[in-house]
Structure 1
Amino acid sequence: MIVRIMGEGQVRLAESRLADLNTLDEELLAEVEKGDGPGFRATLQALLAKVRELGEPLPDDALEPSDLILPSSDATLDEVKELLSDDGLIPGT
């Protein structure tokens, strides 16, 4: 699957690795719902770091359709709130 991090680029991530992101996604959803700014910021950074760690960056000139779009590391709580579904940022996890 192709994951885009807004403002950074795309990474190829095995769908089997989505489960590795589930805990962070659930934490992020809870922090956004509570309005926990510091917790949200830390968890968003951790989630994006995990995606970068588990994924393989695509070349800058590659442009493939993204299966999942994640906010940039400097996204605000309100911006992320708009991207969330009932499942968090990562549907089905």
Structure 2
Amino acid sequence: MIVRIMGEGQVRLDDVHLTELNKLDDELLMEMESGDEEGFRRTLGALLESVRRLGTPLPDEALEPSELILPAPDASLTEVRELLGDDGLIPG
């Protein structure tokens, strides 16, 4: 799967990591619903760091279709709310 982190680029990530990422996504969703800005910042950072750690960065000149788009690390709670689907940032 190709994941884009807005403002950073794309990462190739094996589907086996989706369970781990979905746990962070569920936590992020709960923090957003409760308005926990500090928790939101912490969990968004952990989610993005997990994608970076588990994935392989694609070269900047590569333009593959992204199957998943994640917000930039400095995205606001409001901006991320606009990106959310019914399943959170990560479907499943």
Equivalent residue letter for 2:47: L
State the shift of 1:16 in Å: 1.4
* Paired position in structure 1 for 2:33: 33
C-alpha RMSD over aligned residues: 0.6
> Mind listing any 5+ residue stretches in structure 2 that lack a counterpart?
none
State the shift of 1:15 in Å: 1.1
> Mind listing any 5+ residue stretches in structure 1 that lack a counterpart?
none
Percent identity for Structure 1 against Structure 2: 71
Distance in 2 of aligned mates of 1:16 and 1:60: 25
State the shift of 1:63 in Å: 0.5
Deviations 1:27-58 (A, max 9, x none): 00000111110100000000000000000000
* Paired position in structure 1 for 2:2: 2
Equivalent residue letter for 2:37: G
1:86 aligns with 2:89: no
* Paired position in structure 1 for 2:18: 18
* Paired position in structure 2 for 1:50: 50
Give the TM-score of the pair, scaled to structure 1: 0.96
| Matched position secondary structure for 1:62 | coil
| Matched position secondary structure for 2:4 | strand
Equivalent residue letter for 1:21: L
Q: How many residues of Structure 1 are paired with residues of Structure 2 in the alignment? A: 92
Deviations 1:57-87 (A, max 9, x none): 0001101000000000000000000111221
Distance in 2 of aligned mates of 1:62 and 1:88: 27
1:60 aligns with 2:26: no
